[in-house]
Amino acid sequence: MVRQGNTIEATWYVARIRHGSESLVKASCAQLGVEFYIPRIAVFKRGRRFHEPLFPRYVFLGAYTGLLQLSPLRWAPGIHYFLGSDASPSPLPGGAIASIREKVDGWNAGGWATVFRPGMPIRVAAGPLSGLDAIFQGYVRAKDRCRILLTLVGRPLVVEVAVNALDNSALIGECGSGQRRPREAGVLHEASSNVAIGLY
């Protein structure tokens, strides 16, 4: 529990859950008054937009009375284990969840659209050029389109495609604000004495 003025804020912890158990864990949290959060980011595959967990099979749990409130969840259906020591889960640093929410919201609000940079190798994932590798050239901002450089029958060719025709699901790069794409840059370290989460 963290007190900010007259407001009491939750202390957040990280748990690894079993495959397909999100609903079970969420229901258990609701019964105990524990906040439940899974950050999801927009990715494009085959020209379609999907939302995927930033940290697959990890959930963030916010408790207002600390480990006393969290304790029953350690044996709840779907929970595999909490990050931290064997004795007790380790709380996240103050402000970590607010930072994650801000960066994820920014990404989903359109940060994904500026993730490609000139000279970056990319793959076309939708349309008549689907499956071809290319080099990103730049954005045509007024049209939500971009220029890419392809090699067809041995000749370089610059063409325009829709931004959402590019596959960003496996991209390791930087977005326009100088921050890396959250999925690849997000680091969730399990350690015996601490938990570190970085979105850079």
Tokens of residue 76, six digits: 């709840």
Check residue 106 and give its pLDDT: 79
Cβ distance 47 to 164 under 8 Å? yes
Cβ distance 85 to 192 under 8 Å? yes
Map residue 165 onto helix, strand or coil.
helix
Check residue 19 and give its pLDDT: 92
Domain 2-100 has CATH 3.40.640.10: no
Map residue 46 onto helix, strand or coil.
coil
Could you give the residue range(s) of every CATH 3.30.70.940 domain in the chain? 2-100
Rounded CA-CA distance 100/104 in Å is: 6
User: What's the CATH architecture for 116-165?
Assistant: Roll (2.30)
Cβ distance 53 to 42 under 8 Å? no
Rounded CA-CA distance 33/64 in Å is: 8
Check residue 7 and give its pLDDT: 61
Check residue 111 and give its pLDDT: 66
Low-confidence ranges of the chain (pLDDT < 70): 1-7, 44-47, 86-87, 111-114, 141-143, 153, 168-200
Strand order in the sheet with 145-152: 121-123, 133-140, 145-152, 155-162
Check residue 143 and give its pLDDT: 60
Rounded CA-CA distance 184/173 in Å is: 8
Could you give the residue range(s) of every CATH 2.30.30.30 domain in the chain? 116-165
Q: Could you tell me which of 133, 131, 127 has the C-alpha nearest to residue 161?
A: 127
